[in-house]
Structure 1
Amino acid sequence: MAMYAIGLSVLQEEISYEKTQVKQVAYADDLTGAGNISELYKWWDLVKKNGPTIGYTPNATKSILIVKPEHYENGVRFFRDSGVTVTKDGQRNFGAVIGTEEFKAKYVEEKVSEWVKEVGVLSGMAKTEPHAAYSAFTHGLQHRWSFVKRTIPGISRLLRPLEESIRKTFLPALLKTNFIIGEDVRELLSLPP
């Protein structure tokens, strides 16, 4: 991993902002650039030309150009023969999402649906193994949505079903109670141990 990072830094120097006017970030074998379409096209050309010499082989079929709707036609025109997918909706990027509000909402709603199901499974476990369920919740499951909350702003309303599942299913099972968890108790249970 360290050697890969060193190699990728050599490539980043070759395709630097001074040469392309594209802001970029790399992580492991992922490389992302942001800028106007014509500069991104130059940047992509430099990546294809310089990448293989340091062991980085760009894969156009896994590469996605995300553009604002008003720039979609221009993006398609520039990248038409490159193999790069051009979208105006959005795409996952480094575990977060970039794109339209509708795309972000759909992505988060799908994630929340998965997490609600997982909270349901943990709720069943909590009835007989409360410590194991609590550990799985705090050390595993909870970190998934913490990352999404940090990387995709303005989604609190979309997380409401998850909160309802925690409040109405998981916490009562964990605490072995049939009482409705009120706001004060919920806030108290949200504090770190």
Structure 2
Amino acid sequence: MKAVLIRKSTQEGIRKGKYPNRKMNPIVGLDADLEWLLVVNKPNPSYDPLTHKLVQKADKITDNPHPEYPHLNTYKISTKAVEMSELEKEKYIESQEDQDFSAIIISKKKQDGINLFDRFVAKIERKKNNGKINDDQATELIELIYDSINPLCFGLWEFSKKRIDNLSQPTDEKLIQLIEWLRGKIDNYVIKNY
């Protein structure tokens, strides 16, 4: 159970932690000026989280016995609701919006887009390293497709699909196959998620 060790003469808290005796028996050999108090958290007041926030009030050392362990006094912790500043209200609303369903969906779309972008660039690099395409072909393909696939990194799959669909096709069959592979991945994702 949470407890606070205080110095009675100065009413200062010395240590916070768990009460040192699991069975909640009195501590034998404790200096007469020291006392363990059990922490009691008072219920939070009702408040509107859009306009107010909870702040901890000054902790209160009491000589009130704990309801379950009357040989120990209580250390009360309570909170109060205070009005937030306009900036705090804006930040609260933004944090709630950052955690809502729409934000989660766009975050997933971004991550999926980054993954496909990376996979496609790695596929080009692999083909180049395996001698399936040369440096010039790899460069041509990246230059041709970059503006079309970059929106994927921002979760803008439909925008990327539109750009891929309007892309002028290269004449090299190997590059066409790579673009078609990418187009298929984007088309499938858009069909499944939009």
Q: TM class by shorter-chain length?
A: under 0.3
What TM-score do the two structures reach when normalised by structure 2? 0.25
Q: Name whichever structure is richer in strand by fraction.
A: 2
What TM-score do the two structures reach when normalised by structure 1? 0.25
Q: Name whichever structure is richer in helix by fraction.
A: 1
